Amino acid sequence: MISRASLRFSLGRFTTAEEIDAAAAKLVAVVTHLRQNAPAFEFD
């Protein structure tokens, strides 16, 4: 069983382009890091 995670992003009146770019960069970094460091049993 490969684990998966779901996230809801909901933007609003005070959301800026800079925040979206920072959020995207953070997500890409964290997801990449977790996939590289995931225990082998998660991928059987």
| Least separation in angstroms between CB 41 and other proteins | 11
Contact between 40 and other proteins per CB under 8 A = no
Q: Residue 41 to residues 1, 6, 21: CA-CA distances in angstroms?
A: 9, 20, 33
Contact between 7 and other proteins per CB under 8 A = yes
Find the binder of other proteins among 12, 40, 41, 44 (CB under 8 A). 12
Burial of 37 (0-12, 13-18, 19+ CB in 10 A): exposed
Q: Which residues contact other proteins (rule: CB under 8 A)?
A: 1-28, 30-35, 38, 42-43
